[in-house]
Amino acid sequence: MDRKLLDILCCPTSKHPLALLGSSELDRVNRAIIAGGVVRADGSPQADTIKEGLITRDHKLLYRVDDGIPVLLADEAIATTQIADFAR
């Protein structure tokens, strides 16, 4: 992801700055998605694993990045509290 773009992006809900999701965090998220226990803010299940993601600096919400495009919709956010052993 373009560093300049990343510098200006923020969470649409909390307005916290965003950072790239680390590989170990991405692995934890995808394991939880595969196990079927991850839902988005709108209550719909996150059925597909994610290849890239952005996380708020407070590590409470994450957003997927689809084909290099951040999906920064409040309803699409994933709360990290539902992911076991997620680094906070």
pLDDT at residue 88 in the model = 57
> Which of 36-75 are b and which e, b meaning 16 or more Cβ less than 10 Å from the residue's Cβ?
eebebeeeeebeeebebbbbbeebbbbbbbeeeebebeee
Rounded CA-CA distance 52/50 in Å is: 6
Range of the domain at 40: 3-82
Does some domain include residue 87? Answer: no
Does some domain include residue 77? Answer: yes
Does some domain include residue 78? Answer: yes
pTM: 0.89
Taking only the tens place, the pLDDT of each residue in 55-87 is 999 999 999 999 989 999 999 999 999 998 776
Rounded CA-CA distance 8/48 in Å is: 27
Where are the alpha helices (H) located in the chain, listed in sequence order?
A: 3-8, 23-35
Residue that is written with structure tokens 């680094």 in the block: 87
Does some domain include residue 88? Answer: no
Question: Residue 2: pLDDT above 90?
Answer: no
Number of domains the chain contains: 1
Does some domain include residue 68? Answer: yes
